[in-house]
């Protein structure tokens, strides 16, 4: 039972615990910052609200904080590769697959679970009536896929020794994605009829959305009231269900490719 597909579960757990202890301070800062903002926002402005979209504001802020944290934490893989520190782990503790898997758990899975848990608890305390209407299960699915896709992208850079690229590109994606998607949607909504160049915008929208299905779903659900699409538009934005389906498939493909490349990497 200790081994699964050639991976020693106990070694993964022990290395993940070791990595968590090293990153405890940075995780604590992110948790405290996001929690303080969410608590203040919900206590001052959230009591009695009935709009689930409106209550997404503190969650949006938290996703930005956590994604920047993920980018910085993932970049440490690149640092360990460049300094040779990774060879110590691989020589005495874990295999390459176990090293990357434990890193994925600490860098991606753990922040996702922490964010979902803390935000759900806050909403339950401040606005318990929103737990059902807010569709927590659906939020869990989209946010998990979003965070894991983001983690996979920055981990791909980091696993190739691109420490700076993982930090910079990851941080930029965390911030700019909230600007890029509404801009792309506005093009499709206002000009989504009989304009061939919009198919390029549609493709770009789909690609960007696959990288962040939670963000895309948020804007997709509110764009009718924000932009008022013209009657008779023929090129509508892709549905969130299609986006998350493709995103999950792409996530699996990226992770398989990353693990395969890392196993064959010359260290």
b (16+ CB within 10 A) / e for 227-246:
eebeeebebebbebeebbeb
* CB 73, CB 23: distance < 8 Å: yes
- pLDDT, residue 190, reads 73
The confidence score (pLDDT) of residue 130 equals 64
Coil, strand or helix at 138: helix
Cα dihedral 235, 237, 242, 244 in deg (nearest 10): 160
pLDDT (0 to 100) of residue 243: 93
Closest by CA position to 145, among listed 20, 68, 16, 249 = 249
Residue 59 near residue 140 (C-beta atoms within 8 A)? no
Work out the widest C-alpha separation in the chain, in whole angstroms. Answer: 65
Q: How far apart are CA 64 and CA 37, in angstroms?
A: 12
pLDDT of 146: 94
Q: Specify the pLDDT at position 264.
A: 82
Q: What pLDDT score was predicted for residue 1?
A: 45
Residue with tokens 């993920």: 70
Low-confidence ranges of the chain (pLDDT < 50): 1, 229-231
167, 75 in Cβ contact below 8 A? yes
pLDDT at 10: 84
Q: What percent of the chain has pLDDT over 70?
A: 80
Residue 251: its pLDDT value, please?
Answer: 94
Nearest to 139 by CA among 64, 65, 214, 206: 214
pLDDT of residue 212: 92
Task: Label residue 65 left, alpha or beta by phi (over 0 means left) and psi (-120 to 50 means alpha).
Answer: alpha
Q: Where on the phi/psi map is residue 238: left (φ > 0), alpha (ψ -120 to 50), or beta?
A: beta
**For residue 39, which phi and psi values (nearest 5 degrees)?**
-65, -45
Predicted local confidence at residue 256, as pLDDT = 93
Asked if residue 53 lies in contact with residue 140, where contact means CB atoms within 8 angstroms, the answer is: no
């Amino acid at each position: 039972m200790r081994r699964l597909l050639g991976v020693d579960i106990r070694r993964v757990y022990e290395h993940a615990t070791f990595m968590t202890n090293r990153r405890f301070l940075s995780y604590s800062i992110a948790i405290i910052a996001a929690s303080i903002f969410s608590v203040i926002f919900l206590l001052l402005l959230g009591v009695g609200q009935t709009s689930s979209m409106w209550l997404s504001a503190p969650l949006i802020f938290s996703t930005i904080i956590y994604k920047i944290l993920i980018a910085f934490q993932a970049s440490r893989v690149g640092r360990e590769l460049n300094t040779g520190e990774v060879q110590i782990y691989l020589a005495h503790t874990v295999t390459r697959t176990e090293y990357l898997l434990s890193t994925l758990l600490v860098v991606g899975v753990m922040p996702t679970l922490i964010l979902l848990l803390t935000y759900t608890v806050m909403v339950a305390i401040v606005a318990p009536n929103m737990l059902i209407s807010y569709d927590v299960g659906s939020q869990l699915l989209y946010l998990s896929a979003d965070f894991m896709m983001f983690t996979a992208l920055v981990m791909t850079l980091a696993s190739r020794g691109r420490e700076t690229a993982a930090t910079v590109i990851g941080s930029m994606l965390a911030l700019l994605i909230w600007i890029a998607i509404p801009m792309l949607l506005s093009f499709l909504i206002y000009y989504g009829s009989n304009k061939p160049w919009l198919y390029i915008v549609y493709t770009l929208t789909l690609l960007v959305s696959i990288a962040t299905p939670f963000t895309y779903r948020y804007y997709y659900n509110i764009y009718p009231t924000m932009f008022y699409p013209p009657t008779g538009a023929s090129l509508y934005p892709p549905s969130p269900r299609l986006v998350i389906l493709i995103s999950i498939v792409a996530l699996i493909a990226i992770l398989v490719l990353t693990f395969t490349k890392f196993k064959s990497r010359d260290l």
